Amino acid sequence: MSPRGTTFASAREADAFMDEHQGLDVDALLPLPHPYDDWRDTAIRPLTEDQRGRYEAGPDGVSALRLPRPSGEDERSRAVAGFLAGLQKLLSAEDNWTFLQPLMLSLENCVQCHTCSDSCPIYTAAGRPEAYRPSFRPEVLRKIVDRYLKPGGSLFPGLRGLDVKVDWAQLVRLAELSYRCTLCRRCAQACPMGVDNALVTREIRKLFSQELGIHMPELHEAGTVKQLETGSSTGLNPAGLRDIVEFAEEDIAEKVGRAVKIPIDLAGAEYLVLHNAGEFLSWPENLQAFAIVLGEAGVSWTLSSELIGYDSVNYGLFYDDVQYARIAARHHAAGRKLGVKKLLIGECGHAHKAIMAVAERLVPAEARVPAESALVLLEDLLASGRVKVDPSRNDFPVTLHDPCNITRSLGIVRPQREVLRRVAPRFREMEPHGVDNFCCGGGSGFAVNSSLNFPDWRVRVAGRVKFRQILEAFAGEPAGGGKKYVCAPCSNCKGQIRDLLEYYQAGERAGIGYGGLVELVANAMVSVPEGFLAQ
C-alpha cells in the first residue's frame, strides 16, 4: 500500500491503486501474543459492487464517510472550488480563530523527520502503509496550501516538491484518510518540534464539514444534529430519561435491597452529573453504580432533564467547531439553570476534554460552571472514607485502559489509579500507560461508526495495538480461567473494547471482560450485597 510520491500524482494512478488494493492485507497486521499465536484474521470486507457504485472509498478500500459519488463534472468542480475556498477560511483569523495559531504552527514547521511515525498505533498495526503515516495527510494539506494559496505557488513545483493536484479524487482521499486517525495525539507527543499532526487532521475534517458539509454521518446527522434536535445523540428525550431513571432505581433496589434515589432537576445541588447518554442504554450499571456510590457518600447531586443537559457527548470536538460550540454552551447552560456549584463529568473521555478544558475559552465566564472529573471525586470519596470498600470483592485480574482525552489531553492520570489500588487488589498496568497510552482504536468517533466495512477496519487495524496490550497485561494468568477485567472509564472506549473482545473472541479464548471504574467501586462496597458486577 505504498503509492509513488506523497500525494498520488494523478487520479488515474490513485484509481489503479485502489483497484489493486481492495482491502488491506490482513496478513501484514501486527502479530498477537499468546494465546493468539494461531489467530488468523478474516479479511476486511470489500465494498460490494452496489456500494462502490454509490459511495466513494479511501485508498484502502474502506469507507468511513459513505461519501456519495458525484453526479457529474459540475459537482466535482464545485467541490474542488469549495475545498479551496474552505482552505482559505481555515487560515483566516475570523473564520478559524479557534485553532488558527496551532494550525499555522503545525503546518509550517514539520520537517518530515518521521520521528512521529512509529508512535502511531494505526500505522504500525497495519504494517506501516504510507497512507497511514501520521505525517502523510498533513503533508498533503501543506503542499496544497503552498501550491494553491501562497503567492508563486506554481513556480518550480517539481523542484519544491509541490507535486500535488487538487481534484475530486484528491478530496476523497484526504477526507477519508482524515478518518483513519483517532486524533489520539501520540504523534504530537513524540514530535520534537511540538508539531501536532493530529490537530491538522482534525482541521481537515473541519474544513470538509464546515465548508462542504462532508462529515461522518454518525458524528453529524446521527450525532451533533440529533443531539441539538432531540437532546441526545442517542435520541433519548427527557421523557425517555425519566423512564430510564425509574427503571434504574428499581434495578438498584433489587440489587442492593434498599431504595436509592437518582435525583433529577434538583436545584442548588452541589453537582450536576453529566453522563454520556450511551451509558444509559448500553451500560446502565454505570449510572446505577454512580447513584449507589454518591448516595452512600451523601453527595448532593442531580441529573438534568434539560435538553442536552443529560448527555455529556459533544462530537463536535472531533470534526466541527460550530457544532462543538453550540453543544458546549448548552452543557454549561444546564448547570447554570439548576444553580449547581459544579459539573461532574462521568466516565466519558471526550466529554472531559470538551467540557473541562476546551470550553473554557469559548463559553464566557458568566455562562460557565466549574467542571470536575468523576475520577477525582471517586478518589476523594474513597480516601476520605465516605465510601467503605472491601477490595477482596474484586479478587480478579484488572487492568486499566487510559482514555487519551483524560490522560494525554488533560493530565488526569493519578486519581483513577488510586481508586483501583483501593478496590482492585490484582490491578496491573498496561505498558505503556498514562500519558503514553495507546488509543483503544475507537477514538474521535470511530467507536460509533458501524457502517459498511469501517467496523472491520476498526477492530482489525485501529484497535490492534490496544488488544495486544490487553493480552500482554494478562500474560501469566491462565487463559481460560476466571474472569479478567479491562477497566475503561470512557463510554466510547468501552464500545470499542466491547467490539474488540467480540471480534477476537476474547471472552471464550482468554476469559477477558470489560467495564467501567465506578462499577468496580460499587462491587467492592461493604454496604452492597456481593455480586454487583455479576448481576
Partner 1 sequence: MGQGVLVAWVWLAAATFVAGCAWRAWRYRRAPVHLRWDLYPVAHEPAARRAYGGSRLEDPEYWTRGGRRSLAGELEAVLAEAVLFRGVWRNNRRVFWASLPFHWGLYLLVATSGLLAASSMLAASSWAIGLARLSGIAGGLLVAAGALGLLALRTADPGLKRYSSPLDRLNLGAFAAVGGLGAAVALRPGGMEAVSRAVGALLAFRSPEAPALVAAHMALAGLVLFYFPFTRMVHFFAKYFLYHDVRWDDRAVVAGSAMERRLRGALDFGISWSADHVGNGRTWREVAADGRAREERRQ
Instruction: Give the three cell numbers for residue 448.
Output: 460509533
Q: Return d(Cα 357, Cα 88) in angstroms, integer.
A: 27
Least distance in Å: CB of 236 to partner 1?
12
Is there a contact between 63 and 78 (Cβ–Cβ < 8 Å)?
no
Nearest approach in angstroms of CB 419 to partner 1 is 12
Q: Which is nearer to partner 1, 11 or 193 (CB)?
A: 193
Using CA atoms, how far apart are residues 300 and 273, in angstroms rounded to an integer? Answer: 10
* Residues within window 383-412 making contact with partner 1, judged by CB under 8 A: 407-412
- Total number of residues that touch partner 1 (CB under 8 A): 97
Q: How far apart are CA 345 and CA 356, in angstroms?
A: 8
Residue placing its CB nearer to partner 1 in the complex, 283 or 324: 324
How long is the chain?
535
Return the residues of window 158-217 that contact partner 1 according to CB under 8 A: 158-162, 185, 188-196, 199, 209-213
- Judged by CB under 8 A, the chain residues 132 through 161 that form the site for partner 1 are 133, 135, 139, 158-161
Q: Which stretch binds partner 1 (CB under 8 A): 29-37, 131-139, 483-491, 514-522?
A: 131-139
Query: How many helices and strands (H and E) does the chain possess?
Result: 24, 8
CB 407 within 8 A of CB 413: yes
Q: How far is the CB of 7 from partner 1 (least distance, A)?
A: 10
Instruction: Give the span between the Cα atoms of 528 and 523, in whole angstroms.
Output: 7
Task: Indicate whether 130 belongs to the interface with partner 1 (CB under 8 A).
Answer: yes
Quick one: 107 or 256, whose CB is closer to partner 1? 107
Contact 46, 22 (CB under 8 A): yes
Q: Which residue from 84, 264, 362, 479 is in contact with partner 1, where contact means CB under 8 A?
A: 362
- How far is Cα 240 from Cα 103, in angstroms, rounded to an integer? 41
Q: Write out the three cell numbers for 109.
A: 514547521
Q: How far apart are CA 61 and CA 147, in angstroms?
A: 28
Nearest CB to partner 1, comparing residues 225 and 479: 225
C-alpha cell belonging to residue 16: 489503479
Helix (H) or strand (E) holding 202: helix 197-212
Q: Among residue numbers 10 through 69, which ones bind partner 1 (CB under 8 A)?
A: none
Regarding 239 and contact with partner 1 (CB under 8 A), the answer is: no
444 or 523, CB closer to partner 1? Answer: 444
Question: Quick one: which of 112, 262, 284, 106 has its CA closest to 198?
Answer: 106
Which span sits near partner 1 by CB under 8 A: 21-29, 89-97, 173-181, 515-523?
89-97
> Which element (helix H / strand E) includes 198?
helix 197-212
Q: Is residue 26 exposed (0-12), middle (13-18) or buried (19+ Cβ within 10 Å)?
A: middle
Residues 331-350 that bind partner 1 (CB under 8 A): 342
What are residue 526's phi and psi, to 5 degrees?
-60, -35
Q: Judged by CB, which is closer to partner 1: 18, or 333?
A: 333
- The minimum distance between CB 413 and partner 1, in angstroms, equals 5
| Range 34-40 contact pairs with CB under 8 angstroms and sequence separation of 24 or more | 34/471, 34/475, 34/479, 35/471, 35/479, 35/509, 35/510, 36/471, 36/504, 36/509, 39/504
**Plot region of 382 (φ>0 → left; ψ -120 to 50 → alpha; else → beta):** alpha
Alpha carbon of 409 to those of 272, 342, 435: distances in Å?
23, 21, 8
Q: Which of residues 300-329 bind partner 1 (CB under 8 A)?
A: 307-308, 322-323, 325-327, 329
Give the shortest CB-436-to-partner 1 separation in angstroms: 8
Q: Which of 10, 22, 51, 117 binds partner 1 (CB under 8 A)?
A: 117
Stretch in the footprint of partner 1 (CB under 8 A) among 28-36, 109-117, 478-486, 527-535 = 109-117
Put the strands of the sheet holding 484-487 in their side by side order. 427-428, 398-400, 484-487, 512-515
95 contacts partner 1 (rule: CB under 8 A): yes
Closest CB to partner 1 among 30 and 190? 190
Residues from 460 through 519 that contact partner 1 (CB under 8 A): none
**Residues of this chain, 433-462, that bind partner 1 according to CB under 8 A:** 434-436
| Closest CB to partner 1 among residues 155, 259 | 155
d(Cα 493, Cα 282) in Å, to the nearest integer?
13
Could you say which of 13, 25, 251, 372 contacts partner 1 (CB under 8 A)?
Answer: 372
Q: In angstroms, give the least distance from the CB of 531 to partner 1.
A: 31
Interacting residue with partner 1 among 220, 460, 464, 484 (CB under 8 A): 220
**Considering beta carbons, is residue 93 or 534 the nearer one to partner 1?**
93
Measured from the CB of residue 86, what is the shortest distance to partner 1 in angstroms?
7
Binding partner 1 by CB under 8 A: which of 82, 127, 235, 513?
82
- Taking CB under 8 A as the binding criterion, the range among 60-68, 90-98, 470-478, 517-525 that sits at the site for partner 1 is 90-98
